Amino acid sequence: MSEAQDEDVEKIKKEMVDKMMDEKESKEYPAEPVEVTDNNFEETIEEYPLVLVDFWAAWCGPCKMMEPVMEELAEEHQGDVVIGKMNVDENQNIPSRFQVSSIPTLVLFKKGEVVDRMIGARGKEQLSQKLENHLN
């Protein structure tokens, strides 16, 4: 390749990298938990690099105890992690697929793959540490 062609290739590479960085920076990370359903589950775990899904039900006491913890985590980790909440009574396909038999069950997805799983209520500090371990 000529020097002019090399310069053109480098210019195109730079434009592509800049565009990818702009898209990453403009991606909206919600500051509150998002509702995850059987219908939007795949899209959610593929759209964001790190997603913590809380499988819960309205009648579950420990699940209710986790609500403020999940809200705080979503706010504190905005831009790094998306917190999703899936009601197991309204959505049965995905919980069945991931063998959720006890609630609350928290499943952490990194780039669409399960990297951690916790059953039962957890404290904010413990969950924050788990998230921090997977941010790198």
Q: Is 110 a catalytic residue?
A: no
Q: Is 85 a catalytic residue?
A: no
Out of 29, 34, 37, 60, the active site residue is 60
Which residues make Cβ contacts (< 8 Å) with residue 80, sequence separation at least 6?
A: 29, 50, 131, 135
CA torsion angle 130 92 41 52 (round to 10)? -10
Out of 52, 53, 63, 94, the active site residue is 63
Which residues make Cβ contacts (< 8 Å) with residue 118, sequence separation at least 6?
A: 105, 106, 127, 130
Query: Which positions are annotated as active-site residues?
Result: 60, 63
